[in-house]
């Protein structure tokens, strides 16, 4: 949807609409075609309410960014939605199926596959074995059928072909037989994403896919995420780096202190006072320095200079 980039003119008086949204754009607004709908999800750690989301919908077939300052509850929300953590209250459905209280492996089987902030590559398995583990519905994974190779040989070959295609796409084919532990941090991120794709997910949830990845690989990761959307996969990702979010997301959801404080297309949501407040007012998170539009901001200037230096540097390469 290229028209997402042209945002409706924002005037404080008029209710803002958007092609993805049913009704007006506001925190917790209903989407035209949601893939995930969550209601009243709360998660309490002692006295701290880490997540307290009244209503949240994630649009289908789009790249949605979940942003927010440190401690906003983004990863906790991720863990809750994917069954890795249990909420105190709340229900949510994925593709019309309720997933509340469903264990993590069943969530993954239903087509909602996640990656982790700290990459979880399986170090002492080869890259190819990592990939094959991602395939679903394998007959050879049953205890008794695993003993009889003819039962699963054909399926294993098909999965290997698919794994090789994905490895080639993520430029990991040269590493096929290496132990995953020998990959660099960025390559592990790629492997984790490729592995998640082995199951042909409807929705892929990436927890900080760009964290700790060098700029060159970041570009390639961004490209892969855009390709996912082109292939019809919905993407939800958590990210700190605002440049990334601006470049690739169709929709941005902002969390702060466990709540959804704003959402909207990337250009407008960055100007939302609630977002600026969440980032700068309460936490002084310098990452969002370029959100300040009025006048040169020292942080912004510094960041911009750094980014230019970075770009120049990577172009030289």
Partner 1 sequence: MDWGNIFGNAIGEIISPTTAAYALAAIGLGVHFGYTGLLNFGQAAFLLIGAYAFAIPTLAGAPIIVAVLSAIICSVIFAFILGIPTLRLRADYLAIVTIASAEVVRYVVTTTGLTDFTGAANGLSGFKGTFAAINPIPEGRYGFGPFMYNEYDWWVRIVGWTLVVLASVLVFLLMRSPWGRVVKGIREDEDAVRSLGKNVYSYKMQSLVIGGVMGSVAGIIFILPRAVQPANYTTGLTFFIWTIMLLGGAATIFGPIVGAMIFWVVLSLTQGILYGAIESGALGFMTTTQAGQVRFILVGVALMLLVIFRPQGIFGNKKELSFSV
Q: Summarize as ranges the residues that interact with partner 1 (CB under 8 A).
A: 82, 84, 103-106, 108-109, 113-116, 120-125, 129-130, 132-134, 136, 138-143, 146-147, 149, 152, 156, 179, 181-182, 192, 195-196, 198-199
Shortest gap between Cβ of 156 and partner 1 (angstroms)?
7
Gap between the Cα atoms of 238 and 210, Å rounded: 9
Cβ atoms of 75 and 238 closer than 8 Å: yes
Extended beta strands in 4-33, E state: 21-22, 30-31
Query: Encoding tokens for residue 159?
Result: 């999965």
Closer to partner 1 by Cβ: residue 177 or 231? 177
The residue among 40, 71, 80, 79 whose CA lies nearest residue 56 is 40
Smallest distance, Å, CB 281 to partner 1?
35
Q: Which CB atom, from 172 or from 303, has the smaller least distance to partner 1? A: 172
Q: How far apart are CA 178 and CA 160, in angstroms?
A: 15
If the CB atoms of residues 196 and 256 are measured against partner 1, the closer one turns out to be 196
Q: How far is the CB of 311 from partner 1 (least distance, A)?
A: 34
Helix boundaries (H) for the chain: 74-81, 104-109, 127-133, 149-169, 185-197, 215-230, 242-248, 266-269, 273-276, 298-316
Shortest gap between Cβ of 97 and partner 1 (angstroms)? 15
Per the rule left: phi > 0, alpha: psi between -120 and 50, beta: everything else, 302 is alpha
* Cβ nearer to partner 1, comparing 99 with 108: 108
Token digits of residue 135: 């395939």
Closer residue to partner 1, CB minimum distance, 79 or 268: 79
Query: How many CA atoms does the CB half-sphere of 303 hold within 13 Å?
Result: 16
Q: Which is nearer to partner 1, 15 or 147 (CB)?
A: 147
């Amino acid at each position: 949807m290229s028209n997402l980039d042209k945002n409706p003119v924002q005037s404080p008086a008029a209710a803002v609409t958007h092609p993805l949204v049913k009704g007006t754009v506001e925190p917790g607004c209903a989407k035209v075609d949601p893939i995930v709908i969550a209601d009243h999800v709360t998660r309490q750690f002692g006295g701290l309410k880490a997540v307290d989301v009244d209503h949240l919908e994630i649009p289908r077939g789009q790249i949605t960014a979940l942003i927010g300052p440190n401690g906003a509850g983004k990863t906790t929300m991720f863990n809750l939605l994917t069954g890795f953590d249990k909420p105190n209250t709340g229900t949510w459905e994925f593709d019309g199926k309720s997933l509340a209280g469903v264990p993590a492996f069943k969530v993954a089987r239903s087509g909602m596959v996640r990656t982790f902030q700290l990459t979880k590559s399986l170090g002492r398995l080869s890259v190819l074995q990592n990939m094959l583990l991602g395939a679903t519905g394998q007959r050879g994974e049953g205890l008794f059928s695993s003993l009889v190779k003819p039962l699963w040989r054909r399926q294993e070959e098909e999965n290997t072909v698919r794994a090789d295609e994905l490895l080639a796409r993520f430029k990991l084919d040269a590493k096929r037989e290496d132990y995953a532990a020998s990959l660099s941090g960025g390559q592990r991120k790629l492997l984790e994403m490729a592995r998640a794709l082995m199951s042909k997910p409807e929705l892929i949830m990436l927890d900080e896919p760009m964290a700790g990845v060098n700029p060159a690989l970041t570009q390639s990761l961004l490209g892969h995420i855009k390709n996912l959307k082109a292939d019809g996969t919905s993407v939800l990702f958590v990210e700190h780096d605002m440049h990334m979010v601006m470049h690739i997301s169709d929709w941005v959801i902002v969390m702060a202190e466990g709540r959804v404080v704003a959402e909207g297309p990337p250009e407008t949501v960055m100007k939302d006072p609630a977002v600026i407040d969440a980032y700068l007012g309460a936490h002084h998170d310098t990452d969002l320095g370029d959100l300040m539009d009025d006048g040169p901001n020292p942080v912004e200037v510094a960041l911009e200079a750094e980014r230019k230096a970075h770009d120049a540097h990577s172009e030289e390469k």
